Structures are given as C-alpha cells and as structure tokens.
Amino acid sequence: MRAKSKQQEVDPLKLHKKYGSYKNIIQHSKAVARVALLIAKLIKQANPKIRLSLEDVKNAALLHDLDKTLTLKQNRAKAEKLCDKLNIPKSKIKHGELSYEILKKLGLKKYAIAARQHTYFKIISRDKPKTLLSKIIYYADKRCNGDKIVTLKERLKVWNDRYSKTNDEKTNKLVKEANKKIYELQDELMKMMKLTVSKFNKKIRENKL
C-alpha cells in the first residue's frame, strides 16, 4: 500500500492552532475554502479532463492566511522567535511571505506558493498566480470580506477606500491596475466554469455558502 504524501496528511486547522491564528482569521479561511471548493467543483464539472484535486483546493484555501496573525505588528516578537526556530530570515515577516516559508519547510510547496501569491498586489507582479490552484485561491479570497461572501465589487471597495486615503498617485495607479487584472481573472474563471458572474453568484446562494 502506498504511503500518503505530506500534502494529503496536512491538517490546516491544527496548523492554525499551532501558529496562534486568531479566530476571525480561521473563520475567514473557512469562507474562502467554501468559495474555492465551489469554483473547483464547477470547473471540474464543466471540464472533466482537468486534473484538479479538491483536497488541494481545500487545504490551500484554509492555509492561505496561516501567517496573518503572526505578521500583525503586535505579534512581531512571536514571529521573530518562530523565524529563529525555523531558520527563516526575519525579512520574510510579511503577509504571504512568512506563510510561504513555513509551508515550504513543512514540504507543502503547492500550498506555500498559493499563500504567497494570494495577496492583493501579486496579481500585477512577476510572482502573480499562474497555476489554476493559485488562481482559484486568489479569486476566492477576493470574494470574502472576513467570513462573509460578497461580490468582487464590494470586496475591492475595501482596498480602494484604504489606498485612496494615501493620496499617492503611484499607489492609486497600481490599485486600478490590480483591479483590472482581478476582473480579468474573474472572467477567466467564469469562462472555465461556463457561467456568468450572476449565475455563479446564484450557485453561491443555492449552496448556502
């Protein structure tokens, strides 16, 4: 009998507990997982030949914010102690980057990449989501505000409002560029599911996510 891989044995909720994730972060991650799994199932249904592990989608979604609590300012000392223990450079104490380093150390490379690539501006960077798994996690995260599933427009408004306060022309330009790419990603995934956005939203309601 073949032994299960580390990817199959991972317990995301135990990892969240181990690294001290706040309850609201875990609840958000569960919401992202529900959306991500629905997307994955609809893609597989519309494209039977596509190889996509639902287990990978669930685990990557649940782990995408593994470092969120650790990278908050009030937890800097705890994060530095963890970096010393795992031999991770302290320069990696940034949201997405620390998750990547932790998950990579655990041998969970696919989930590590998805975690690193899910943050807002990654969509316009060299390290943008490229695999279907990473794209699904990135988009599912952009459909969740806390543990509430919202429209993409509602979710992006949070970032628009946050960055507009900076009155920084360069930042505002990057925000517009990122939003454009996120809508393009939405179109790409809807095409794969063979659904319009409104029909996908209906699926969310039907599945009581």
Structure tokens at 54: 């639902």
Task: Tell me the residue type at 167.
Answer: N
pLDDT given at position 108: 97
Q: Which domain holds residue 175?
A: 6-206
What are the pLDDT digits (tens) for 174-186? 999 999 999 999 9
Please say if the pLDDT value at position 137 is more than 60. Answer: yes
pLDDT band, residue 172 (cuts 50/70/90) = confident
Domain count, the chain: 1
Name the region of 167 (left: φ>0; alpha: ψ -120 to 50; beta: rest): left
CATH number (domain holding residue 145): 1.10.3210
In a domain, 1, yes or no: no
Distances (CA, A) of 163 to 130, 157, 167: 26, 10, 8
The mean pLDDT of 55-64, rounded to a whole number, is 98
Q: What value does the mean pLDDT of the chain take?
A: 93
Supply the pTM of this predicted model.
0.93
Q: Is the pLDDT of residue 166 over 90?
A: no
The whole-number pLDDT of residue 1 equals 38
For residue 59, tell me if it sits in a domain.
yes
pLDDT at position 165 over 90: no
pLDDT of residue 162: 81
Is residue 57 one of the residues assigned to a domain? yes
**CA angle, residues 180, 181, 187, in degrees to nearest 5:** 95
With a CB cutoff of 8 Å and minimum separation 6, the contacts of 125 are none
